[in-house]
């Protein structure tokens, strides 16, 4: 399997869908529209949408079945990045290789651009309704899953734990809790929701959840490592931001070497979880490896 062209092809289709959905007239004031578009169009790896698509494909679905969900996940993720970079949070000035949203449009517009993307994401998921074969109760179930992973129980709650832990010595257990909430759950849901839309069985969903939980944590471990060892040009965001903010990270709590070993073990766990799947799960296997080997 040519993983590079697989990723590039899915990424292109996600980018086109995002452009289409966001370009439609929703009555956004023009300056809000510009601020929203600025961060979405800046790029990013599109890992969450690609996971939703790869998971759909692993259970026999297709990209067309899940495109609105895939785009919605990227909208939520982009909202979380815009807010994460704000002066009141991580106070970063570079994201996706360009100045952060608030640095260009001001804090008020950056907050509102994030708010807009969050609400627009849930509207976007309802577009699944127009797809043949997706039952309304499945769409409601997916909305519930994505809301739980995003809100106080998930990413937003995790961001609070992350801020609370600044400057503190915390245990590995507490650190994992932060990471599973602020980052892991949305990645897990990208995998499970993608498969749910395509009619996955309870057994398939349970296996995909285990895969998603493993890569979800691995993703943030790799992010923490890249903040120490990465290259700003490749990464498109500042290096050393975590140390400057005295963040609780894997390298800070268990050291770089143990962090890398943990990341490797998590990828093995992810692979073991989808052992029973056929060749159609090959992209999921490749993505798990990519998550810890990436340079950006």
**CB under 6 A: which stretch of 14-22, 26-34, 41-49, 167-175 binds ligand IPE?**
41-49
Please report, as ranges, the residues that interact with Mg ion according to CB under 5 A.
84, 90, 223, 227
Closest CB to ligand IPE among residues 45, 260: 45
The residue within the footprint of ligand IPE, chosen from 57, 90, 176, 213 (CB under 6 A), is 90
Q: Binding to ligand IPE (CB under 6 A): which residues in 59-88?
A: 77, 80-81, 84
Does position 101 interact with ligand IPE (CB under 6 A)? The reply is no
189: Cα within 13 Å, side-chain hemisphere = 28
Does position 259 interact with ligand IPE (CB under 6 A)? The reply is no
96 binds, among ligand IPE, Mg ion, none (CB under 5 to 8 A by kind): ligand IPE
Please, which contacts does 152-156 make with residues 24 or more away whose CB atoms are closer than 8 Å?
153/181, 153/185, 154/181, 154/185, 154/186, 155/76, 155/80, 155/181, 155/182, 155/183, 155/185, 155/186
260 binds, among ligand IPE, Mg ion, none (CB under 5 to 8 A by kind): none
Angle, vertex CA 247, rays to CA 71 and CA 72, nearest 5: 5
Distances (CA, A) of 238 to 235, 241, 296: 8, 6, 11
Contact 216, 293 (CB under 8 A): no
Determine the Cα–Cα distance for residues 5 and 32; give it in Å rounded to an integer.
34
How is residue 183 annotated by DSSP?
A: I
The residue within the footprint of ligand IPE, chosen from 155, 215, 266, 291 (CB under 6 A), is 155
- In order, the DSSP letters of 227-245 are HHH--HHHHSS-SSHHHHT
Closest CB to Mg ion among residues 100, 204: 100
Closest residue to ligand IPE, based on beta-carbon distance = 44
Does position 96 interact with ligand IPE (CB under 6 A)? The reply is yes
Determine the Cα–Cα distance for residues 220 and 211; give it in Å rounded to an integer.
15
CB of 137 vs ligand IPE, minimal distance in Å? 29
Does position 183 interact with ligand IPE (CB under 6 A)? The reply is yes
Structure-token pair, residue 234: 């490749």
**CB under 6 A: which stretch of 17-25, 40-48, 99-107, 208-216 binds ligand IPE?**
40-48
Closest CB to ligand IPE among residues 14, 128: 14
- Site residues for ligand IPE per CB under 6 A: 44-45, 47, 77, 80-81, 84, 90, 92, 96, 155, 159, 182-183, 220, 223, 227, 237
């Amino acid at each position: 399997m040519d993983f590079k062209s697989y990723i590039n092809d899915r990424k292109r289709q996600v980018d086109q869908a995002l452009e289409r959905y966001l370009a439609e007239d929703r009555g956004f004031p023009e300056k809000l529209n510009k601020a929203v578009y600025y961060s979405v169009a800046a790029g990013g790896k599109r890992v969450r949408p690609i996971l939703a698509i790869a998971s759909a494909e692993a259970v026999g679905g297709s990209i067309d079945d899940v495109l609105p969900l895939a785009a919605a996940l990227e909208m939520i993720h982009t909202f979380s990045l815009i807010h994460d970079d704000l002066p009141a949070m991580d106070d970063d000035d570079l994201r996706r290789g360009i100045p952060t949203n608030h640095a260009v449009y001001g804090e008020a517009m950056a907050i509102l651009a994030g708010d807009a993307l969050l609400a627009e994401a849930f509207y976007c998921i309802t577009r699944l309704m127009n797809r043949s074969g997706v039952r309304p109760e499945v769409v409601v179930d997916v909305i519930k899953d994505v809301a739980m992973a995003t809100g106080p129980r998930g990413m937003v709650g995790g961001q609070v734990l992350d801020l609370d832990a600044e400057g503190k010595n915390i245990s590995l257990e507490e650190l994992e809790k932060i990471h599973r909430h602020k980052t892991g759950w949305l990645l897990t849901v990208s995998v499970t929701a993608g498969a749910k839309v395509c009619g996955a069985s309870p057994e398939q969903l349970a296996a995909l959840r285990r895969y998603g939980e493993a890569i979800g944590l691995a993703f943030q471990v790799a992010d923490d490592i890249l903040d120490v060892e990465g290259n700003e040009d490749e990464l498109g965001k500042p290096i050393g931001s975590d140390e400057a903010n005295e963040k609780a990270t894997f390298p800070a709590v268990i050291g770089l070497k143990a962090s890398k070993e943990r990341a490797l073990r998590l990828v093995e766990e992810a692979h073991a979880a989808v052992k029973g799947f056929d060749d159609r799960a090959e992209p999921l296997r490749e993505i798990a490896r990519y998550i810890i080997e990436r340079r950006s």
